[in-house]
Chains A and B, each alone.
Chain A
Amino acid sequence: MFKTHYRIERKSITLAIAIIVVASIGGLMEIAPLFTIDETVEHDPNMRLYTPLELAGRNIYIREGCYACHSQMIRTLQDEVDRYGPYSLAVESKYDHPMLWGSKRTGPDLARVGGKYSDQWHTAHLNNPRDVVPQSIMPRYDWLSQTELRTQDLGDHLRAQRTVGVPYTDAMIANARADAIAQASPGDADEEALANRYGKATQIRTFDGDPRTVSEMDAIVAYLQVLGKLSDATQPKGK
């Protein structure tokens, strides 16, 4: 070994190639099989997709760095299951480009926060967490209610998502903007079409309590309310 090295360290190109080869093995052995082994991700034929409004909310979650304080990955440990609900399965983030599993819990896990609180609670909490949880150290996000959501390019977003593998249909892409507005404006004519495209369970409400505009608050609350609800496969079946 030392003899070989003694030769290699006299040739810069050989040394560089040796480094690349030695360093690549680990990644190849661990990552490549994840794409080919079928059992890696469970199957759920009824998996729903994020609606355009929820996807926009997810992008706000990314933009504001919520993932720096919140995980979305309940581990297979008893106390986590007791605290947050059934542990997370791979299929639940199958369409998450990128995943938001997180690495730090300064705040609680959010993988199953959907439906845990009312829309009003979330809006008040995001406007100022200390209004509802006096001891909270979460930042305030009061600008979200005042900022109108950008909806005009949601179609492009869905198309990019389709390019990376999320099965959005042509109709979903074409109607992305209308669907986003419809989801936050109950009574809208497009409501039916939206539910047909994304499933009956799609939540159509004025999330931020203000029916006049579609704000960023609408989007992020819609996203939070759907967390943990896109797949029914929360309990491992047949294991």
Chain B
Amino acid sequence: MTTTPLLALRGICKRFGALHALTRVELEINAGEVVALVGDNGAGKTTLVKVITGAGPADEGVIEWNGRPVRIARPRDAQSLGIASVYQELALCESLDVVGNLFLGHEICRAGVLDEVAMERRARELDLLDVLSVRIPRTRVPVASLSAGQRQAVAIARALLSEPKILILDEPTAALGVGQTAHFLDLIERLREHSLGVLLISHNLGDVKAVADQVAVLRLGRNNGFFDVLTTSQEQIVSSITGATDNAVTHRKTRPWEATR
């Protein structure tokens, strides 16, 4: 396997004043691969997501898309590459209805005029609102009146609607019920079958073990190990998250893409 990864981060650094939120972080995502990003609270996972999506660009480091370096300075840049994301703090606009939120940023227009009918029909056709089997009463209700899980479903549907090549999910199961979580994991597997790259951030190692191919651990803003899910025990991952095995150097050697080179 010598394919170039779809998305690769090389030496990403990000500072907030004196705080080094990310230090020389490396990450690779291949098409059709689910990479889990785990780490304690404040490890820098959301910060890394924002680097990838252009919401909070890196100070240093290179982002490669299909092997070519790209600049992601604004959310638009990431969108046009084909990166879609669902943020931890659900990023929906309260003043718009469900359809308005689904299409925000890529509205369907006819001769420069918003085509509400087409947008509503498209939403219906794709059955997006049945993602996760969360029922949404009507497509025209304001999102403010939805439950957290329903909003989550809208946010995920929204990300999928742009037909992304990479989907980034920041703690997507936090607001979901048991049934919905199971459904969500099914959804991720379907996405993998359709050769999307998925970056999944989760504190639930059970979920991670269930769907992820690779696990990348972040600790205090640094890489602290890359694991193959099939061959790694949960204890190993936990100790890497908590810092019991702080041997980032050894793990660096076993980075999957270096091992295969």
Partners in one complex: no
- Residues of A that sit less than 8 Å from B by CB: none
- Residues of B that sit less than 8 Å from A by CB: none
